[in-house]
Amino acid sequence: MQKNHFLGKLIGLLILSGVLVLLGTLLGSMGPSWNMQGPDQTVLFDIRLPRSLGAYLAGALLGLAGGIAQSLFRNPLADPYLLGSASGALLGVGSILCFAYLGNSWLEIIGLNGGAFLGAFLGVLASLLLAGGYRSSLRLLLSGVVISVILGAANSLFTFIRPDLFQSIQSFMLGNTTLLNWSGVEMMAIALLICLPLTLIISPVLDALSLGENTARTLGLPLDQLRLILIGTLALATGCAVAQTGLVAFVGLAAPHLVRKLSGGRQRVQLIFSCLGGGILLLASDLIARTLFAPIEIPVGVVTAVLGGIYLLALLRRTPAGVRT
């Protein structure tokens, strides 16, 4: 019976995902396009379809990373950006923009996406080094906060040196799905195919951690090694998503909460549903962003921040004091 319930919920989320991808392909800021031939064919299959699939995959990666972070740190307010990946990605983009005028060929090869990806990984690596490893979740969490502040100050310095870059950096900070293409879709699909199965295989360590770290160690699990793999998976998923869409707010934080009741407390199911929920949330937000004030598009990060903030406020109001969400 429990398996049937899981399959029913899974099929429901997959159908909703397919409907949203179809709507994302047919609808846009310039109105709906139904013609599968001529100029509309280019709009549908070269612009809207990769944008819709890319938004869904980015949301899925952030949702998965958020589910890992909240389970790993046993904190319902943890999100994929807490280990310095967001500030690192922004620093990478700022570095490319700030120094590209020097004509360095290697900067042109890396590009903005590569800079964001490398910056996110460097941010996580710096957090690990500052924490002295990965054995203490609390030290790692605090190190991520410190690294985020330091890298944030460096980003502010870039805008001080090059005020003309402020608009470009601001666009990256707000999140942007307009530039998604088939190469970005392919990169995120590969990352998801790596991260999701790997996370599901080692998900028992998250179930053990939910009982407390001391209890988890008594079960004989190689806790430290598995924690490092989970941190690496979190960093890979976050880095790939951020490199393609910028710093989309609240998706990784809100998606696990949206599907928590559906999972029934099972970590493996929670991770799968967080992945699907993140994709649904970001793609739905992208549809709103491109159609609400059409033909003007608003940054998708603004929509996710509003929707995610409203949901979390509602969740907070209906949760009694002292009860964990």
**To which residue do tokens 């004091």 refer?**
321
What's the rounded Cα separation, in Å, for the pair 288 and 282? 10
Sequence-ordered list of residues with C-beta below 8 angstroms from that of 137, at least 6 positions apart, any chain:
72, 73, 74, 213, 227
Contact 171, 40 (CB under 8 A): no
Exposed (0-12), middle (13-18) or buried (19+): which is 132, by Cβ within 10 Å? exposed
> What pLDDT is recorded for position 55?
94
Contact 207, 38 (CB under 8 A): no
Paired tokens of 185 = 């879709």
Contact 172, 243 (CB under 8 A): no
Q: pLDDT under 70 in the chain at which residues?
A: 1-4, 29-40, 100-110, 210-217, 219-221, 319-325
Cis amide bond preceding 295, omega within 30: yes
Of 191, 176, 171, 202, residue with least CA distance to 267: 202
Please name the fold of domain 2-318: ABC transporter involved in vitamin B12 uptake, BtuC (1.10.3470)
> What pLDDT is recorded for position 109?
58
Contact 58, 244 (CB under 8 A): yes
Three-state DSSP class for 320?
A: coil
Q: How is 209-273 classified by DSSP, letter by letter?
A: HTT-HHHHHHTT--HHHHHHHHHHHHHHHHHHHHHHH----SHHHHHHHHHHHHHTT-HHHHHHH
> What pLDDT is recorded for position 2?
59
> What pLDDT is recorded for position 13?
92
Q: How many other C-beta atoms are found inside a 10 Å radius of the C-beta of residue 50?
A: 18
What's the rounded Cα separation, in Å, for the pair 193 and 180? 19
> What pLDDT is recorded for position 185?
93
Contact 80, 302 (CB under 8 A): no
Q: Which amino acid is located at 39 in the chain?
A: P
What's the rounded Cα separation, in Å, for the pair 164 and 98? 10
